[in-house]
Structure 1
Amino acid sequence: MTASTTRRTTAARSRIAAVGAIAVAGALLLTGCGDQTKDSGSDSSETQAGTSAPLADKLPKEIRDKGVVKVGSDIAYAPVEFKDDSGKVVGIDPDLADAMGKQLGVKFEFENGTFDTLITGLRSGRYDMAMSAMTDTKDRQDGVDSETGKKVGEGVDFVDYFTAGVSIYTKKGDDQGIKTWADLCGKKIVVQRGTVSEDLAKAESEKCPAGKKITIEAFDNDQQAQTRLRAGGADAGSSDFPVAAYAVKTSGGGNDFQLVGEQVEAAPYGIAVAKDDTQLRDALQAALDAIIANGEYKKIMDKWGVAEGAVDKATVNGGK
């Protein structure tokens, strides 16, 4: 998520990078998430106590003593994070968190929240970190509202763990002549609020001729946007490529949507941590590097069909 201070949020989330293989990932049902409650059913929530944890001493003592890292996440963004039929939190992010937890000797406890409130929750101390397909952008690092250019907070640090771009999708067999963002002029697009997709749509609309601006309808989560498009309430939708490709693969048995055009705005996903929490940031970076080195990271990328978005090392604040 990309640019508006959140890239699933806001500024442009994507792409060309690719995560092409995801379209062939195994079929998991798109299921939604809801209220802001703790979800303890994910693999990443299983206690790591008693296991070998070579990097445990890198964590802040408070977290090490609790044995838990509280993670803010919008758990409705398959295949990055979502709930399966049993209500268990699954996806790329929970799997990565579980693998890092084994290195750090803690469990990562995912708490559901709407995407555009995750950084606020991080600042208030509700979460220790945010992990939710959040695009690492300079504006987010600096605490700047990407739409107004005004500073709205102290910003966050990111530990980058994946690369993705932004895609457009339409109803299957009805692309409305849309191939590029410029083709959206005079049309209606649905997006998730606070994402790069929303930022891109706003920026593109400013370029459209008078009387042909893009109508943008933003929702709390991506699944709501998909429902609107599926019902014929818009001409197109946009989200990060892995999410768009997964929706195309699974929604209606693959009969609801189709991808159009190319990915744009390829950028890193990052784990967000408060600026003053440098010890936790560095511990997460070390844990991510460890699972890249031991092969666990690659197994997770392959499992979800997103190997083309993999990184070869954990980078701090690599977003531009």
Structure 2
Amino acid sequence: MASPIGTRSIAKRVIATGAVVAASSLLLTACGSSKISGNTGAAPNASQSVNAEGADAALVALVPAALKTAGTVNIATDASYAPMEFKDASGSIVGMDVELGTAIMKKLGLKANFANANFDSILGGIAAKKYDLSLSSFTATQAREKAVDMVTYFNAGEAVAVLTGNPDNIDQKNLCGVKIAVQSGTTEADEIKNTINPACKKAGKAAATASEFTLQTDATSALVAKRDQAMMADSPVVDYAVKQSGGTLQKIGQDYNTAPYGIVLPKADGQLAQAVQGAIKDLIKDGTYGQILTKWGVSSGALTDSQVVVNGATS
């Protein structure tokens, strides 16, 4: 995620779980599943009912012929980013993006097949036609929109987590000299390089050190194991990690740089983008969208409308 096009966010992206951390109440499994403090991968509000609406004929008509013939849409996602996308105890990919993506495809008369992929490989995979699209907590940036189009579906900010009690007295607004765990290719990784460290240099302070990991789960493990002093990730990911940590982690400061996530689509595939956008609008209108967000504990990021973003980001 080091390059702007690899950045995870219409400015970001980033939890789930990784290697077991000894002497910690935060249990992370190496397979990338989100088994934290006994969590089995169930949604935070698993009892929340979700509508079972069928296909929308008008939207089905917009689906490109090749996808209609295939009947299944291959959707890339980085399953290390709970509660958005991660693996449950059985190894199945679950999360808000997964449930929403499945509902979108149902509106289009299609079946969703989610494929796990490293975050910073996804855009290249779409360009190579390995995947049809991606739901993986991508925020839209101008650089990214040179390669893909996006349909907005959720708002997220960025956030910083530390060990409970903030033993190093870290200030979210002054991260100079701090060793920060971050997922590669994310907006947060770019922020350290392009915003935080230039400001530290200008102020005559030591640069922050970014410990970059392929999986967000490994970034979380590094903080829990005290190999790093802080972790930067998207706000829903940090909030979920804190809730599941059994008191090991806390968030400091406020969420910032809030911007929409976008479903990533091949460049200039306008017909598919319109179909996906229409499905999101349907799901918002019929209440399914709100039910899914409530189920996964991320209602604060709800949008009231969806936009097709083509060279429209401001960052």
Give the TM-score taking structure 2 as reference length: 0.82
Output the aligned Cα RMSD: 2.4
Pair 1:214–1:300, CA change in 2 (3 A): same
Query: Shift of the alpha carbon at 1:5?
Result: 2.0
> What does 1:138-149 align with in structure 2 at a 5 Å threshold?
138-142=142-146
Q: Which amino acid aligns with 2:103?
A: A
Q: Secondary structure at the match of 1:174?
A: coil
2-structure distance, mates of 1:53, 1:197: 38
The corresponding residue for 1:221 is 215
The equivalent position to 2:69 in structure 1, one of 65, 70, 91, is: 65
Code of the residue aligned with 2:149 in structure 1: it is: D
Partner of 1:5: 5
* 1:308 and 2:300 matched: yes
1:192 to 183, 188, 199: 183
Partner Cα separation in structure 1 for residue 83 and residue 214 of structure 2 = 17
| Structure 1 residue corresponding to 2:199, chosen from 196, 207, 223 | 207
Structure 2 counterpart of 1:119, from 117, 123, 144:
123
SS at match of 1:169: strand
Number of equivalent positions: 277
Does residue 109 of structure 2 align to residue 105 of structure 1? yes
- Aligned partner of 2:256 in structure 1 is 264
Structure 1 window deviating more from structure 2 (276-285 vs 164-173): it is 276-285
Q: Is the 8 A contact 1:6 1:135 kept in 2?
A: no
Specify the SS of the correspondent of 1:58: coil
Distance 1:197 1:160 in 2: 20
Matched ranges for 1:24-39 at <5 A:
33=31
Structure 2 stretches of 5 or more lacking a match? 15-26, 33-41, 43-53
What letter is aligned with 1:116? D
Structure 1 unaligned regions, length at least 5: 15-28, 35-41, 43-50, 143-154
Cα distance in 1 between the residues matched to 2:13 and 2:60: 33
Checking the alignment, whether the CA contact within 8 Å between 1:169 and 1:244 is kept in structure 2 is yes
1:45 alignment counterpart: none
CA distance in 1 between counterparts of 2:292 and 2:29 reads 20
Structure 1 pair 11/279, CA: closer, same or farther in 2 (3 Å)? closer
- 2:60 corresponds to which of 36, 39, 56: 56
Residue of structure 1 equivalent to 2:288: 296
Match of 1:89 in 2: 93
Give the conservation status (yes or no) of the 8 Å contact 1:229–1:236: yes
Shift of 1:91: 0.8
- What is the aligned partner in structure 1 of residue 168 from structure 2? 176
- 1:57, distance to aligned residue in structure 2 (A): 1.5
Distance 1:3 1:33 in 2: 26
Q: 3-state DSSP class of the match of 1:208? A: helix
1:268-318: CA deviation from partner (whole Å, max 9, x where unpaired): 100011113221111111111111111100101111121111011111115
- Provide the residue aligned with 1:247 in structure 2: 241
In the superposition, relative to structure 1, how do residues 211 and 200 fare at CA in structure 2: closer, same or farther (>3 Å)? same
User: Separation in 2 of the partners of 1:53 and 1:281?
Assistant: 15
Q: Deviations over 1:83-103 (max 9, x none)?
A: 111222111111111211221
Deviation, structure 1 residue 179: 2.6
Structure 1 residues 309 and 11, CA gap change in structure 2 (3 angstroms): closer
Q: TM-score if structure 1 supplies the norm length?
A: 0.81
Give the structure 2 partner of residue 237 of structure 1.
231
Q: Deviation per CA, 1:236-261, whole angstroms, max 9, x where unpaired?
A: 0010000001001112xx22210001
The answer for the alignment partner of 2:83 in structure 1 is 79
Q: Which residue type is aligned with residue 74 of structure 2?
A: K
Out of 265, 275, 300, the residue aligned to residue 273 of structure 1 is 265
Contact 1:9 1:193 in 2 (8 A): no
CA distance in 2, matches of 1:239, 1:319: 20
Contact 1:156/1:274, CA 8 A, preserved across alignment = yes
Distance of 1:2 and 1:242 partners within structure 2? 21
Closer, same or farther: CA 167–124 of 1 in aligned 2, 3 Å: same
Q: Compared with structure 1, are the counterparts of its residues 160 and 52 closer, same or farther at alpha carbon in structure 2 (3 Å cutoff)? A: closer
Kindly tell me: are residues 2 and 138 of structure 1, through their superposed partners in 2, closer, same or farther at Cα, counting changes over 3 Å? farther
Matched residue SS, 1:191 = strand
